[in-house]
């Protein structure tokens, strides 16, 4: 199946997705792989937006747990997302995908300011739009920023790329009895405290009826297959009636 089911999508990437098997920073080969996976989706003709985290460089929660003021730590994390966004932009444009970085924190020398209408216009022109610096506010994760931006641009689906195949009833790392969940509703995720996204992000997705698809980024073709409506990963949506 090579026909896109969704026409406007937002892809959420963790900063760790760019590390490869390393412990820090950006792995060039992994960055190139991610760029090619995004290109395979763009080639379907969809409008693609991306939010990338900064955990491969600095994570705000980690900084605050070591005594740093939470707001200051979160701002450092936002700057890390800008670095990742610029790296991804460079990788995409090397393979002829026009890309724009829009930052929630003003830094005109390297990125455009985030303006919703400008973002939508870029998407309509088939440019990949990378939303950097989270929401621009401390105390909010990049998962929440991804849901917020998806709602603002009226994305039909938010694709959350992870290191595992989807949602499990417990952490599959080290738990051989963990069971894969193919479909689940927002409220169940909240009630069972499944750590797919933080509760603010899930609640915001639920309030805006935003479909979430959680899948393994390391499986080549998963982004494209998810956009084509194939059974990839876990769907988080409204409960079935």
Taking the alpha carbons at both ends of the chain, their separation in whole angstroms is 28
Inter-helix orientation angle 116-124/142-152, to 10°: 70
**Residue stretches of the annotated binding site for ATP:** 12-15, 55, 59, 162, 168, 171
Residue 84 bridge partners (DSSP): none
Which residue, 21, 163, 38, 40, is CA-closest to 91? 38
Q: Could you tell me which residues come within 8 angstroms of residue 33 by beta carbon, excluding any fewer than 6 positions away?
A: 220
CB contact at 8 A, 219 and 172: no
Binding residues for UMP: 54, 74, 135-142
Binding residues: 12-15, 54-55, 59, 74, 135-142, 162, 168, 171
HEC states along the chain? CCCCCCCEEEEEECHHHHCCCCCCCCCHHHHHHHHHHHHHHHCCCCEEEEEECCCCCCCHHHHHHCCCCHHHHHHHHHHHHHHHHHHHHHHHHHCCCCEEEEECCCCCCCCEECCHHHHHHHHHCCCEEEEECCCCCCCCCHHHHHHHHHHHCCCCEEEEEECCCCEECCCCCCCCCCCEECEEEHHHHHHCCCCCCCHHHHHHHHHCCCEEEEEECCCCCHHHHHHCCCCCCEEEECCCC
């Amino acid at each position: 199946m090579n026909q896109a089911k969704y026409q406007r999508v937002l892809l959420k990437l963790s900063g760790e997705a760019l590390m490869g098997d390393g412990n820090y920073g950006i792995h060039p080969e992994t960055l190139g792989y991610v760029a090619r996976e995004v290109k395979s989706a763009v080639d379907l003709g969809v409008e693609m937006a991306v939010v990338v985290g900064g955990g491969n460089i600095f994570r705000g929660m980690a900084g605050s747990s070591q005594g740093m003021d939470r707001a200051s730590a979160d701002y450092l994390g936002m700057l890390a997302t800008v670095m990742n966004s610029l790296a991804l932009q460079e990788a995409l444009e090397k393979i002829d995908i026009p890309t724009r970085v829009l930052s929630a924190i003003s830094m005109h020398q390297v990125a455009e300011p985030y303006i919703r209408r400008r973002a939508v216009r870029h998407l309509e022109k088939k440019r990949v739009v990378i939303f950097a610096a989270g929401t621009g506010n401390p105390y909010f994760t990049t998962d929440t920023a991804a849901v917020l931006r998806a709602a603002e641009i009226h994305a039909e689906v938010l694709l959350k790329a992870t290191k595992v195949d989807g949602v499990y009833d417990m952490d599959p790392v080290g738990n051989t009895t963990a069971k894969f969940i193919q479909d689940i509703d927002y409220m169940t995720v909240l009630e069972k405290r499944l750590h797919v996204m933080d509760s603010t992000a899930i609640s915001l997705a639920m309030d805006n009826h935003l479909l979430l698809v959680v899948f393994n980024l390391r499986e080549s073709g998963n982004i494209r297959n998810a956009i084509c409506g194939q059974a990839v990963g876990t769907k988080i949506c409204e409960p079935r009636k």
